[in-house]
Structures are given as C-alpha cells and as structure tokens.
Amino acid sequence: MEALFARTGLADLYEKVVQGERLSYDDGLRLYRTPELTAVGALANVVRERMNGDATYYVRNLHINYTNICNKLCKFCSFYAPPGDPRGYVLTPDDIVARLAEHRDHVIREIHMVAGINPKLPYQYYLDILRSVRAARPEAQIKAFTMIELAQIARAAKKPLGDVLEDLKGAGLACVPGGGAEVFSDRVHEELFRAKLDNEGWFQVAREVHRAGLRSNATMLYGHIETVEEKVKHLLHIRELQDETKGFQCFVPLAFDPARTELEHIPVTTGQQNLREIAIARLLLDNFPHIKAFWIMITPQIAQLALWYGADDLDGTVSHYEITHALGTASHHQALSHQELLDLISEAGRVPVERDALYNVIPEQLAVGGQQSAKGSVSLRVLSSSS
C-alpha cells in the first residue's frame, strides 16, 4: 500500500489518513486533480473500513413525488412542470394511500417523499399527506421534504420553521432527505437555480432541522458546470456544519443526468468521475458516518465498485425503479431485485446490512422474512434532482 502512495505522490495524504488527520482544501484539490484514481480509492477505503468495516447498508424504500409543479425552474431539472402547465399534477392524500396500497405485500421501511415547489399547496396539505402515509403504513418511517421544500412549507404555514418542524414531526415526519443543496457556489446558484433558496438559506434550514432533533442527509449535484474548487468548498462547508450540529447521517453525491434538461449538451458523468466523487466525499467528510453510492443514478455496476472507493450505503432495495424524464415523454428503467442487490454486495466482498431510515440495523431474522415477501416489482417515479 505504501508503495502505491509513494509512486503516485500521495504518501503524505496516506499518512494523514492513517493518522486520522483532517484533510484540507488543498488536499481536496489534489485528490480531484491527480490522475491516480486507484490511489484515491485506496485512501478512501482506509476511512471506509475504519468507520464501517465491510458493512454495506441498504433500506427497503418507496419513493413518492407528490407534485411535479414547481416555480423554481432549475436548469438542470427534467422533472418539473411550471405552474399553469397542463402536464402538472398533485397527488391527493387518497392518491398516495392508493399508491401505497399497490405495495401492500412488500416490506417497506422507509417512504421517501420529495417534490417540486408548488406555491398553491396549503400548509394543511403537507400535514395531511404525512398523516395519511403514517396511517396507511405505520411501520414505515417517513423521510420527506428537501430543505427547499421545508422553506416553502414554512412560507405556506406563515409560521416560524421551528414550529412547522414540530407540526411535521407530530404528523409523522421521521427524517429529512437533505436534497436541494446542488453546489454551494453563488456562481452556480445564479446560473442554474437562481429562483431557489440560496446557499446560506439551505444552511439555515438544515440548522433548524437538526435543532428540531431531525436527522438529515446532505447532497451534492456534480457533473454540470461546477468547478473542482467549488466542489471542495461545498464539501468543507458541509463538514463545518456537521461539526456544529452533528445532524447529518449520510452524504449522497448525485450524478447530474443532462437528458431533457436545459443542459443537455453536457456529457453524462463517467464511471471514473462517479468513483472519484464518492472517494473524495469519504475522505473530506471525516465526520459523516455514511457515504451513499446511489445506484439508480450511477448504475449498479459502478455502485458495486464504489463499495471499495468509500461508499458503505447503496440506498434502496426496490426491485423495479423507474426514472421518468421530462414529464413522461420518455423513461428508462433499472431493475434490481432484492436478491440481486444482496448478491451485488456479497460478490464485492462486503456484508449486506439492512437498515431503517435512521440507520437502525434490522435484526437478521426480520430481514430474511422481509426478503421473502419482497418479491414482485415496485414502480416508482423520482426526481432526477429533487427540489
């Protein structure tokens, strides 16, 4: 191992990582710029194994996107319909309950709800959908609302966010997915998502969420117009906030999918890029317990490799996942059964560990019983970049 790092000029970073020393901004830039991806991955693997051993976490989850109507018009988004567009939809609480009923025979431990920023939805709507989901699937935990949605919900409530979070918790909210961060750069914000909450706003909401006792994830959307410097700053900002609140559970690097967005001219991310983002996140975010390889966006094959590049979480085990682009004009499907996911993890030499939305480990017996009843397909819609 030492020889690899000496040969690649990363011996000093290896020493820091082995000593548990925090990596700096300049270290982050070097990790992005070195051509030695294998060495970057090996460094990340040192941290991954120190923190999580061989464990690879997954959860059986169901995604619900309750509305695609959104007034934020982000250039990287293929999901939204602007207000007034006939293609817009809003799921009523009954629609959501009906969708859950389609999956009554499946084990679901987490229900993940995110959507567009629909200014017409009243505060009561958000409470109603939470209560309906909780009543329909009381055993599942509800992970819902990006920081952007939470800001909108507080606006609709005309109440302080802290009070709103208490209401949402009372209605069933268990944790928060943390999306909408994109890249913390004023330049990127101005160019790609200027109508949306700015960087400081995202941090303020995240602070409130954690202060309310809710855990969240954090994300970074990469592969569009961002620079290496902006990505390192993004990661270090998130790390600072985690030092302050300790409220983040997991970091999720999100690969940008340009299909049918205003940025369609940008090439899709490569396997090399995807592995590097995961590895660098693992190395810089030394205070994050988990790093996710979101297989739906980067393919199961790359996600499997990522288990040796810093990732210890593969997201959900749903056996049929649909990503719908541009309001249903086209879609592609990725299928991965529960058993295939378990095999993927095991074949990589890692140990599958079923968890709930809060990273509580599911006892093995329950996990096996659930596996038997998880046959069949689960059809989902998901934002290519949620809120």
Q: Residue 46's beta-bridge partner residues?
A: none
Task: Report the nearest approach of ligand SF4 to the CB of residue 80 (Å).
Answer: 4
Pick 65 or 273: Cβ nearer ligand SF4: 65
Task: Report the nearest approach of ligand SF4 to the CB of residue 82 (Å).
Answer: 9
Pick 52 or 78: Cβ nearer ligand SF4: 78
Task: Report the nearest approach of ligand SF4 to the CB of residue 232 (Å).
Answer: 23
Judge residue 373's burial from the number of C-beta atoms within 10 Å of its C-beta, 0-12 exposed, 13-18 middle, 19 or more buried: exposed
* Paired sense of beta strands 215-222 and 55-59, if any: unpaired
237 vs 118: CA distance, rounded Å: 29
Task: Report the nearest approach of ligand SF4 to the CB of residue 89 (Å).
Answer: 13
Question: Rounded to 10 degrees, what is the CA torsion of 193, 223, 61, 367?
Answer: -150
182 vs 225: CA distance, rounded Å: 11
Task: Report the nearest approach of ligand SF4 to the CB of residue 319 (Å).
Answer: 26
What separation, in Å, do the N-terminal and C-terminal C-alpha atoms of the chain show?
42
Pick 13 or 74: Cβ nearer ligand SF4: 74
Pick 17 or 74: Cβ nearer ligand SF4: 74
Pick 4 or 73: Cβ nearer ligand SF4: 73
Pick 80 or 288: Cβ nearer ligand SF4: 80
Task: Report the interface residues with ligand SF4, using CB under 6 A.
Answer: 70, 72-74, 77, 79-80, 116-117, 148, 193, 196, 383, 385-387
Question: Rounded to 10 degrees, what is the CA torsion of 69, 61, 249, 282?
Answer: -100
User: Do the Cβ atoms of 139 and 62 come closer than 8 Å?
Assistant: no
Pick 18 or 326: Cβ nearer ligand SF4: 326
Residue 327 gets which letter from DSSP? G
User: Do the Cβ atoms of 40 and 34 come closer than 8 Å?
Assistant: yes
Task: Report the nearest approach of ligand SF4 to the CB of residue 179 (Å).
Answer: 8
34 vs 13: CA distance, rounded Å: 12
**233-271 residues labelled b (16+ CB within 10 A) or e (exposed):** bbbbbbbebbeebebbbbbbbbbbbbebbebeeeeebee
Task: Report the nearest approach of ligand SF4 to the CB of residue 222 (Å).
Answer: 15
Token pair 């700096």: residue: 24
Pick 29 or 73: Cβ nearer ligand SF4: 73
Pick 189 or 196: Cβ nearer ligand SF4: 196
Task: Find the angle CA(34)-CA(39)-CA(42) to the nearest 5 degrees.
Answer: 140
Task: Report the nearest approach of ligand SF4 to the CB of residue 367 (Å).
Answer: 33
From the list 293, 76, 36, 322, the residue with the least C-alpha distance to 180 is: 76
Task: Report the nearest approach of ligand SF4 to the CB of residue 192 (Å).
Answer: 9
Distance from chain centroid for Cα 21: 27
